Amino acid sequence: MLRYLRVQNWKSYYEPVEFSMVATRERQHGERLAKIGRSRVLPVSAIYGANAAGKSTFVEAVEALRNLVLDTRPAGAALRMTPHLLRGRGEPTAFGVEFVAPVHDGAGAERDQVFIYEVAADRRRIRRESLVLVRTRTEEFVFDRNGDDVELYGELDDNPRAGAHATVIADNETFLGAVGSDGGPLIEAARAWFAHQLTVIHPGDRYVYLPARIDADDMFASAMNEGLTRADTGISRLELEAMEMAALPLPAERVDELVEMLEDRGGSLVIGMEDSDWALLSLDEGEPTARRLVTLHEADEPPGAASASFRLQLREESDGTQRFMNLLPVLLQLRDEDTRRVFVVDELENSMHPKLTEDFLRSFLEGLDADDRRQLIFTTHEVQLMRSDVLRRDEIWLADKVEGQSRLTRVTDFSDAGVRKDADLLSFYMSGRLGGVPKI
């Protein structure tokens, strides 16, 4: 889980801003907070703000940090750092993140471990980098890097593979990303948090595995169908419909290459079609088959009348239905009791009805307790969520731009302005008293 994120000199953020998922003393919905050591961690946060205030820029900062850790780059390749253009030219971009990740021991057991990872970089090189273990009463370095000089501590100091990585680290690669599994269980757990637990979703992103999972996973298919029906999309179920091989948007020789790959490796391949359509290429008793993912709609008919149904290709569904269809797998993962994931979603409600957005959140939050380890962080313009009881005050943030700089403020920081637990947050927000709205 994410506890804190600090961003400095990234696009419209120049002065450091800190985003926190650690709960305040707010009592509402206390039963759903994760208990980690002596702290309580929030499962959800919503970020509001005017256009160009810094909401999407914050999401991009999370993604930039993730990519900085994980991406492999040729020697000398530039880093994708974008400093504040007016004030931050020539200065590094800095990120700091405190997170909780499961560490596995040699016996197969796991424990929660709190890490602090900090990195500063410009477009040419990593300037500083460190990983720290947060104990109950102390903090211990795992490694500390200043330029090309990497100091190793504790178990890492006795690790010859980690030492070898430290001596040859490239200017444009992070030590955390480069050492990987060679660094032992602590480094591996910290890197895995970025690689497997942290997921960033933008408005146009699509769940490309959808046709393959519908075909191979009956439980997933049933859950998708149930979710689409409950959301009143008009879809009764998703199906894979046979199509001609010649209709695949690929040259015949490329299709032949893919069929040979399937003959060698098995499985199936998802192929992007026109607009939002997807096809699944697979082998059926040794013969190549192509199927298109479609939606089935069944009309309500009077008793005794013949049932009426029709199929639509995905591109023929509304933008809101397509958005919900691509977010629903996220919800299914978040509701899995064993899930350890942090999803950061830009414009959660994009093209979706307000009631659908609210239902999505309620479905995620339903049944959460102190032992759960999953989070949803999202930007939104859906102000009606402020008036519902789905969010706590410390789960609502406002992005605002002041004198050319973006800043983030938690609603609980406005207690002195009268924003108490029984206040009408929507009225406060829309009046402009909290910032984060256009100056019209």
What confidence tens digit (pLDDT) does each residue in 186-236 have?
999 999 999 999 999 998 888 889 999 999 999 999 999 998 888 888 899
Q: Would you state the pLDDT for residue 275?
A: 75
What CATH topology corresponds to 2-202+346-430?
Answer: Rossmann fold (3.40.50)
The beta-strand segments (E) located in 1-138 are: 2-8, 17-20, 34-36, 39-41, 44-49, 93-104, 110-121, 126-134
Q: Would you state the pLDDT for residue 429?
A: 60
Average pLDDT over residues 249-258: 92
Q: Would you state the pLDDT for residue 418?
A: 55
Q: Would you state the pLDDT for residue 426?
A: 58
What confidence tens digit (pLDDT) does each residue in 283-312 have?
998 899 999 999 999 876 666 655 678 899
Q: Would you state the pLDDT for residue 35?
A: 94
Going by pLDDT thresholds of 50, 70 and 90, the confidence category of residue 31 is very high
For the stretch 276-292, what's the b/e string if a residue is b when 16 or more beta carbons lie within 10 angstroms of its beta carbon?
bbbbbbbeeeeebebbb
pLDDT for 431 beyond 90 = no
Q: Which of 184-198, 383-397, 415-429 has the highest mean pLDDT?
A: 184-198
Structure tokens of 115?
Answer: 């890490």
Cα 322 to its chain centre, rounded Å, is 18
Least confident window among 114-128, 224-238, 311-325, 326-340: 326-340
- Look at 76 and 63; give whichever has higher pLDDT: 63
Side chain identity at 69, as an amino acid letter?
Answer: V
Going by pLDDT thresholds of 50, 70 and 90, the confidence category of residue 386 is confident
The beta-strand segments (E) located in 193-232 are: 198-201
Task: State the number of CA atoms in the 13 A half-sphere of 120 facing the CB.
Answer: 15
Q: Would you state the pLDDT for residue 276?
A: 77
Q: Would you state the pLDDT for residue 300?
A: 66
Q: Across the chain, what does the average pLDDT equal?
A: 88
Please state, in angstroms and rounded to a whole number, the distance separating the CA atoms of residues 193 and 131: 13
What confidence tens digit (pLDDT) does each residue in 136-163 have?
888 999 999 999 999 999 989 989 999 9
With CA atoms as reference, report the closest residue to 278 among 195, 349, 332, 215.
215
The beta-strand segments (E) located in 385-430 are: 396-402, 405-410
For residues 28, 33, 36, 41, the Cα torsion angle rounded to the nearest 10 degrees is: -80
Locate the domains of the chain by residue range.
2-202+346-430, 210-317
